[in-house]
Each structure stands twice: as structure tokens, then as C-alpha cells.
Amino acid sequence: MEHSELALHKDTIQKGSKSFALASFFFSSEEKEAAWKLYSWCRYCDDEIDEVTTLSESKRRLGNLMQQTEQLTSRESFENFQMQGMSEIVNKYHIPMKYPLDLLRGMGMDVSSTRFQTLDELEDYCYCVAGTVGLMMCHILGIRNDVALAHAVAMGKAMQLTNICRDIEEDRLKGRLYLPLSWLQEYGIFEEKLFNPSHQDLLIKMQERLLKRADELYSEGYAGLKFLSLRSSWAVLIAAKVYSHIGYLIRRDPAMSLQKRVYVTKFKKLMIVLSTFKSFLSQLWWSCIQSEKIKSPEKVWSLK
């Protein structure tokens, strides 16, 4: 039964996010399985809310999710494999309940189609729906250092800002807008007029501002990789590089990105894996040089 449930978690991440599925492959077996369970729970919560069309039903489902999530530490059995898997990792890795509850708080903002007045307010949303995932992954990877946790939040926020830039048109169709309202006011434009073809240049400018902020947050996130094991840092680096490449694709053709979703091809993902492998080897080389277990250059070169 346990094996079949693990297969369900694996299937969920492979169908829901090919980028995260690819990155998870490079974790250790235990870390990989925990990452799959975490993703399954996040996807389950997101789908529970997005699959309904009425606000009242969305709120009801969110309330149920909050109630179930608060019971994760009870070690009781859950009917669905997503909640059961999340309960297992919460208890095994001592994940603070604040993190999953904050994630649901962010989903609540989506339910109510919250508008964000400032970039800081938007980044609080990004912390909720993505930064918390970074924090929970840190606990899975055995990281508790406050500085490291801050870097993980930055990486999650960077990825979410990239998502927002990629999904501007899709979010509009759902009645959602994540661009800070203060920016619209700065350009003297009302939300109702924002998507008029005549204002596309302004929309592209705001999209670029978000991407620049994402770049800053990616840099903060990369600085935190030193807290991870070599293998884990490689996995996280792959995910971050795939996501940041989405920003590159948006910048290459911003007008087109507002009409259809851009995505990273399988070939490019392979190139990213190979390019990050160079970074992995350099870190491994340095680690070996510093290790007292390796005394001679011959032993170092034998790693190639």
C-alpha cells in the first residue's frame, strides 16, 4: 500500500510540474520521496480551490483544508493520500505548522481575488504560496539555520514572481491581478483599462519590473545554496535555473508572453542540467581539496 501511494505522489509531480519533477530526481531517495509528498499536498490544496466556480464553495473548501491541515500532527490516518503524505513528512521532519497554514493563507488571497497595493504586499503573498514551500523543503533537507531559511524564502518568492509574469493573461481570465496597484497609479491607468492593446507597453514595463525584482531574489536564493549538501544544492539549482529561464523567454518576446504561456523545452532543461553539473563538479572538487581524507592530487583527479 505504501509503495502504491508513493507512486501516486510521483505521478502527481510528474503531471503537475515537469520542472520540479526533474529537479527532485537529483535528491537522495528519502529527500525525493518527501518532496513528492509535499508537492502532492500543495497541488491537492490548489486544485480543491481552483476546481470550483463559486466563491462560497471555494471558501468552504478552504475552511476544510485549514481544518484538516491543523490535524496533520495528530498522526491520525487521512482518507486521501495527499493529506496522509503531508502528515508523514510534517511529523518526520518536525515542520512547523505555521508554514502549511501560511500557504493556505496565501491561497485564501487567491480565493478572494485579493489586490496588492504595494510590492511588499505582493511579496507577502509570494512568501505564503512559495516561500513556505522553500521553508518546508529546508526542514526536509535538515536545514534549520535562520540565515539559510531566509535564503530559501527569497528563492521561493523569486520563482513565484516569475510565475506571475508568465501567467498574467491566464490570471486575468480568472479575475486575478498580481501587479501592485501603486504601479498602475504611478502610470495613471485603471485596472479595467490595463489590458487594452494600447496599454501593452505599460504592461510590459510592469512585467519587467517584477522580473528585475525576481532577479534580485534569485541572487539571494543562490547565496543560500552553500548551506545545503552538494547533491541537494544541485537539485535546487536546477529548479531555480529552469524557472529563471522562463524570465529570459519572457524578456525575449514580452508581447508574445502576454498572449500565451511560455515554457522551457526538454532540450533546454537538459542543457541546464549539464551546465549546472559543471557547478556541481567545481563544488565537489573544492570540497575534496578541503577534505583531510584526500591528500594527493592523484586522488582528486580520479573523481573525473
- Statement to judge: residues 147 and 279 lie in one domain: no
Instruction: Say how many C-beta atoms besides its own lie within 10 A of residue 300's C-beta.
Output: 15
Q: Three cell numbers at 129?
A: 504560496
- Statement to judge: residues 175 and 240 lie in one domain: yes
Q: What is the DSSP letter of 187?
A: T
Residue 130: name the closest of 9, 254, 20 by CA. Answer: 20
- Statement to judge: residues 173 and 25 lie in one domain: yes
Radius of gyration of the chain (CA): 21
CATH number, domain of 68, equals 1.10.600.10
- The whole-angstrom separation of Cα 179 and Cα 184 is 8
Q: Report the domain count for the chain.
A: 2
- Statement to judge: residues 245 and 151 lie in one domain: yes
Residue pLDDT tens, the chain, 304 long = 456 889 999 999 999 998 999 999 999 999 999 999 999 999 999 999 988 888 999 999 999 999 999 999 987 789 899 999 999 999 999 999 999 999 999 999 999 999 999 999 999 999 999 999 999 999 999 999 999 999 999 999 999 999 999 999 999 998 999 999 999 999 999 999 999 999 999 999 999 999 999 999 999 999 999 999 988 999 999 999 999 999 999 999 999 999 889 999 999 999 999 998 877 766 655 555 545 444 444 433 333 2
- Statement to judge: residues 183 and 277 lie in one domain: no
Sequential DSSP letters for 244-296: HHHHHHHHHSHHHHTTS-----HHHHHHHHHHHHHHHHHHHHHHHHH-TT--S
Contacts of 281 (CB under 8 A, 6+ apart): none
- Statement to judge: residues 39 and 146 lie in one domain: yes
- Statement to judge: residues 17 and 109 lie in one domain: yes
The enclosing H or E element of 153 equals: helix 146-166
Q: Which domain holds residue 295?
A: 266-304
